[in-house]
Structure formats: C-alpha cells, structure tokens
Amino acid sequence: MNIPPYPHPIIAREGWPFLAGIVLVSVLVSFWSPAASIPFWILSVFVLQFFRDPARSAPDGELNVLSPADGRVVAVEEVRDPYAERDALKISVFMNVFNVHSNRAPVNGAVASVSYFAGRFFNAALDKASLENERNAAVLTTPQGHIVTSVQVAGLVAKRILCYAKPGDRLYAGQRYGFIRFGSRVDVYLPLGSRPRVAIGDKVQATSTVLAELAPTDAASSE
C-alpha cells in the first residue's frame, strides 16, 4: 500500500486546531483590550512558526539517506540497532522548538515494522534519550535490500508522537510520514559500510540534506 502524497499546505494539519484556537482567543481579547492581547498574538506567531510545513526537494541519488527532520546532528556513531537487531551506523538529529517538526522518510522503502515504546521525557539532545524516552521506530527495506530504521524520539516537552506509516506501506524518500510536537529528535540506523555525509554539530533540513550514502547493493546483500 502506498501512502498518498501529503499536500503541503504550508501549515501542518496537526497544528490547525492549535492555531485556530489561539488566534480566536487573541481576537476576542483584542476586543476587550488591545494591549492585553499582545502576549496572545505573540503566542499565535510562535504556534504559526512551530507548525509550518514547507515543501522540500530531494537531491538525486538512489543510495542517498535523506534527513528525516530539521535540526542539528548530535550523534554519528556505530551502535547496536535494537529494532532491527544488528550493528549499525546511527545518525541522530535534534529538533528544537524553532525547527520544522514534520518527519520525512529517509529512503525509498517498504515498511517492515512499526513499533511504539512508552518511555520518559529526557532532553532529546542527550544520548540516553534514544533508548529511554518515548519513541516510535519504523524499519524500512529499500529496493536494493538495505535495512534502514527511522526512530521518532520524544523530547523534554514533546508529548505526542504521530506516525502514519504502517507495516506493508511503501514510502518514497522525503515523504511526510509523521510529526512530533514540541521538541524532539530522530535517530536513523543504517547498515555498517554506509558513508556519513554530515558531522556532529551540522545543521540539516528534512529531505533537502543527505545524511549518508548507503553502500552499493552487493555490500547490502551480504548483511
């Protein structure tokens, strides 16, 4: 099953109720006291920028692994992928409240599994957040046979992880598949032999930034 392409309406659909609510409150308070409404209008602008969801163009390259989120790279390391049960290269992107929080598929692939894990809400920039915070892991299999795991991780104030992908779905690289509200991170686990294209501290954009390049197919088939 293919998930229909998401029509980019500039403002994420997840934010429509929040934006409508705060704008309505701001308008009502303005009638009572324009001065008193200023903080509400400032909050309206914050909600507007938080839920922005711009369309993005993906670079060409069938072996590219695209960033699933906007933010800053906080980890590039070899670890154990607990979701696909293999050693892997992990690249983590931390999103603060000023980043776009729409999550995109890092590769073309079929969804092999989607697993939700309840957890805590540590600062998402910390390493322990990967395995101790609330999270949702999607394991993808690319047409070339690579296994790529994309994990949405809740942060200190993130209280809702949304994932629209289901086992059996087919995603295209850069496709919108989820959203995390209010500060979080995304961990991407790649086959060993993948070549990182980013370093810790780099700022990245969902879909537009290539995080890494997967190894050629013959290497993938030997996993």
Q: Identify whether residues 116 and 72 lie together within a single domain.
A: yes
Question: Is 58 contained in some domain?
Answer: no
pLDDT in tens, 4-21: 555 556 777 877 888 889
User: What global pTM score does this model have?
Assistant: 0.85
Q: Identify whether residues 29 and 84 lie together within a single domain.
A: no
Question: Is 168 contained in some domain?
Answer: yes
Q: Identify whether residues 44 and 98 lie together within a single domain.
A: no
Task: Find, among 185, 170, 154, 218, the residue nearest to 72 by Cα.
Answer: 185
pLDDT in tens, 77-136: 999 999 999 999 999 999 888 888 889 999 999 999 999 988 676 655 667 767 777 889
Q: What is the percentage of the chain residues whose pLDDT exceeds 90?
A: 54
Enzyme catalytic residues = 184
Residue 137's beta-bridge partner residues?
115, 151
How many domains does the structure of the chain reveal?
Answer: 2
Q: Identify whether residues 140 and 31 lie together within a single domain.
A: no
Question: Is 2 contained in some domain?
Answer: no
> Is 70 exceeded by the pLDDT of residue 220?
no
pLDDT at 210: 96
Of 53, 72, 88, which residue is a domain's last?
A: 53
Question: Is 141 contained in some domain?
Answer: yes
pLDDT at 8: 55
Structural domain containing residue 86: 64-220
Domain CATH code at residue 111: 2.70.70.10
